[in-house]
């Protein structure tokens, strides 16, 4: 019985364990990120010339701010992290922090240059035209 309890405890700890790391991606909002969700990479749909203004407009209208990974996955941010990333809303970033239960707690965030889209896409432009 003690062995079963020890295994169950270990499994429980691993399932909620936080892990530290460094990620690159984008500070986005859910509306923009959801519109481009079918793309394999975030850079497939993000238009560097329009992304910042759109993400800021969508966030101002109430769309939740998130971290968007390079492989186009949305990650929630905790409240303290939101304060740190807001100046870089609509930018490509490198973050260090801790991921726990699908939520990113940001320790540091640094802006990095956005690359031009590999394939031109009008997805973002059409979505933003609907504001």
Instruction: Write down the pLDDT at residue 131.
Output: 43
CA dist 44 and 119 (Å) reads 6
Give the pLDDT band (50/70/90) at residue 16: low
The model's pLDDT over 57-91, given as tens digits with 9 standing for 90+, comes to 999 999 999 999 999 999 999 999 999 999 999 99
Q: What was the pLDDT predicted at 59?
A: 97
The pTM of the full predicted model, rounded to 2 decimals, is 0.77
Of 47, 23, 50, the C-alpha closest to 118 is 47
């Amino acid at each position: 019985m003690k062995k079963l309890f020890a295994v169950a405890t270990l499994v429980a700890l691993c399932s909620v364990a936080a892990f530290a790391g460094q990620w690159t991606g984008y500070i986005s909002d859910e509306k923009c990120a959801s519109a481009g969700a079918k793309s394999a990479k975030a850079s497939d749909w993000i238009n560097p010339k329009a992304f910042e203004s759109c993400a800021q407009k969508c966030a101002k209208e109430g769309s939740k701010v998130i971290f968007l990974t390079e492989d186009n996955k949305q990650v929630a941010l905790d409240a303290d992290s939101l304060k740190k990333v807001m100046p870089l809303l609509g930018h490509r970033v490198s973050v260090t922090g801790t991921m726990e239960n699908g939520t990113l707690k940001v320790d540091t965030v640094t802006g990095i240059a956005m690359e031009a889209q590999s394939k031109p896409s009008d997805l973002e432009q059409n979505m933003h035209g609907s504001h």
